[in-house]
Structure formats: C-alpha cells, structure tokens
Structure 1
Amino acid sequence: MLERLPESIRPNISTDILLTSLYETLYMVFLSLIFSAVLGILLGVVLVVTRKGHILECAPVFNVLNPIINILRSIPFIILMVAIIPFTRFIVGSAVGMEAAVVPLVVYAAPYIARLIENSLLEVEPGIIEAADSMGASKAQIIFRFLLPEAKGSLILSITTATIGLVGATAMAGAIGAGGIGNVAITYGYQRFDNATMVITVVLLIVMVQGLQSLGNILARKSRRR
C-alpha cells in the first residue's frame, strides 16, 4: 500500500512494519487496559467507600491507600518503567518486549484509573446511597446495585480517558524494545529524518484516539439513556 505512493512522499518503511507496529500498540494498550481497569476500579471503589462518612468508613485503609496512589501518579512513565525493571522481570521473566511493557503500563495506569473512578463515584447523589441503606440493602448491594450503576456513564468516559492515556504511554515503551507506533515514529521518522513516516504515524495515532473517544462517548450516551 505505502509502496504505491509517489516517491516524493513515500515513507522509508514497508506496510508490514507499519501494520506490525499498529498490532504492537493495540496489544499493549488493550492487555494493559484489562488489568489496570480491574485494579483501578477496585482501588477507586475502596477509596470512596472507606473515606470519612461513607458506608465502609475506615481511616487506616484510606490514609494508607490515598498517598500510595498519589505517589505512583506523580512518577513519569519513562522513569517508572525503568525503576520497576526488577519487578517486571520477576512478573514476566524479562524486561524487554511487549509483555514486559504491559507491567509498567498497568502500574502507571491503575492509580490514574483509580482517581478517575473515585471522581465518578463521588458524583453520585448521597441521597441514592441513603435510600438504598434505608431499604435494608447490604454494603455489597449498595456498591454493585446502586453506586456503580448510577455512575456508569461517567465510568465509561473515565475508562476512555485512561485508554487514550495508555496509547500515549506506549510511545515511550519502545525504550525497552516493546515496539509500537511510537517506536516507528522515533526510529524510522525522527532518527532517519523521514518526515513522511512521522506524518503517517501521527495520523494513525490521531485516528486511534479519535475512534476511542467517539466510541466512549457513544457508549456513555447510551448508558445514560437507560
């Protein structure tokens, strides 16, 4: 496909390289999203229900978890990725490649998702929780049948925002041999002064981000209509 372009605007990469890099980016984004979303939602719920005045108020848990999440969120991804190499090697047996990149991506994204989930859940009207409690609902029922469903639209947008953040983070994952579109942009575009490759990779990332955001908006809109 790329080989059919006029020579003056033809990038110095093959279609196979571009498709491989796209696959690598999607692999890292969605695999890390699964793990970080599960962990982030769990942490976000715990942050909300253990805070003062909530249904499972527990100051020790909140006061320990809250600063840990703040600390992890304050570390730039490229530094975090290098700092936890021993942990990454322990988990996947290697510090290089796509699987190795997933570990720091999860550690990076989970606290971010936790904060987004926390903000979404705090938007739920306290009256809904009070009404559920007055009807005799258990703590688990309040969380899973009232709190989370009421925040569903906002939760979808939060996960969408986190997914887009992961797309950006994968661009730096090339530093540990993970590949991806960002790695192609740096290796073939920037370092080889190939402007056509830079433009193509940027366009691919823009299309990917716009597609994810549009999908998130549609799903959030449908959930709010129900």
Structure 2
Amino acid sequence: MIKGNIDIEKTSFRTFLVFSFFLLAILLPSYLIFSSKYMVRNVEFSPKYQVDSSFLETLYGESIWTLDETSVESLYSADPTIEKIELTKILPSKLEIKLKLYEQVAEISDLRGSQPKLSVLYKNLYIAESIDASKNTLSVTIVNGPVDNGFNGEVVALFMTLSNFDDINTGSLKLTHLGTSVIGYYKDTEILFGNPIDLATKAAAVGELLSDGSCQGTVRFVSTNSFVTDCNI
C-alpha cells in the first residue's frame, strides 16, 4: 500500500513538472513579446541617415523580438543607394540599423544641353542629382553625343578595375566623352581610350602604367588590349 502511494506521488510530481515546464514555455515568450520593457523606443542608424518620420513610426512601440530585416526592407525601395541592411538589437529597447551603401563611382557633367546637368553615378548604375560626390569618384564630362545606353556600365567597370590597383587614386582620373571616343587624364598622363567600349579591359591593360606614376605623356590604344605610348616605361 505504501509503495503504491509513493508511485502515485512520483507520477503526480512528474506530471506537475511537465505541466509547469509547458506552461513556462508558453508564458515566457508571451512575456518577452508583449512586455512594454521590450518595446522599441530608440532607433539609431549607422552611419547617420535621415529617414521619414512615418518609417520610424512603424518601429516605435513594436516588440524588439519580432523585428528583423524584413521589417525595414521598405528602405530599399525608398533609397536605391542602399546595398544591404543589418539590424542589431540592443536590449531592452534599442534598435541599431546598419546600412551599407553602394559605392559612388563617378560625378558626371553633361554639357550637351543649354543647361549643364550634374549627377552622381553609383556602382549599381543608379544616378542621383543634387548630391555631393565622394573624393574617390571619377570625373566624367560629356561634351558631345549621342551617348550609348551602356556607357554608364562601362564607367562602373573601368572604376572597379582601376580600384584593384593599390597605387591608383581613382579620384584623380578625369574622362571626357566626345561622342565617338573617350579621352582620359590621370595626373601627367593623357589616355586616348578610343571608342567608349571595353573600358574595363583597357583599364586593366594600362593599370600598371598608371599605378607606377612615372608616365608623362600620351597613351593611345590601338586595340582593346594594346596601346602605344611616348612616355618612358
């Protein structure tokens, strides 16, 4: 009889433990989600970034546990210069939004119209107006046209290629689009690229020469991969 009572008590105790664990598994997440302690009250951007107040209102008061990258994906459509977004949750109520922006590639001055147009070209081919270009961007001046639709892609490819050379300062390169040809100026070197195509291949061919920095003269491409020059190499 005593042994039977002990077995019943053990069974009841195990049942109680299972029930308690199950109840805790339900209540704890609910507390974390709905507790005002874990509601978002502070949002910071890194680097500093201006957003519309309506966007912040979608975050304030929300449980920090329920937010993820999908909660802020509207920023991608609002600003095409954003390449990647990462969220960091700083408990109990602070949200840090880390932005990786597409690199600026070129500042483009279009002189073909009665009023010159100034714009900035990004790595993802997005073009923005009325913003300041970074110091590492190429300078592109368009003085004659028409300009092929793929020219911006050519500029991006050239920029990315030259960026692979540690000793080349891309911010010192100036390109002039003359309609059927492109001329480049880098420090004391004039570069006759010829047709505005295959600029990445041409940049790779002349990269070592520009990186050395000793050329004072003219480089003229005779084909996509080869050039002649009057400077000392």
Q: TM-score, normalised by structure 1?
A: 0.24
More strand by share: 2
**Which protein shows a greater Rg?**
2
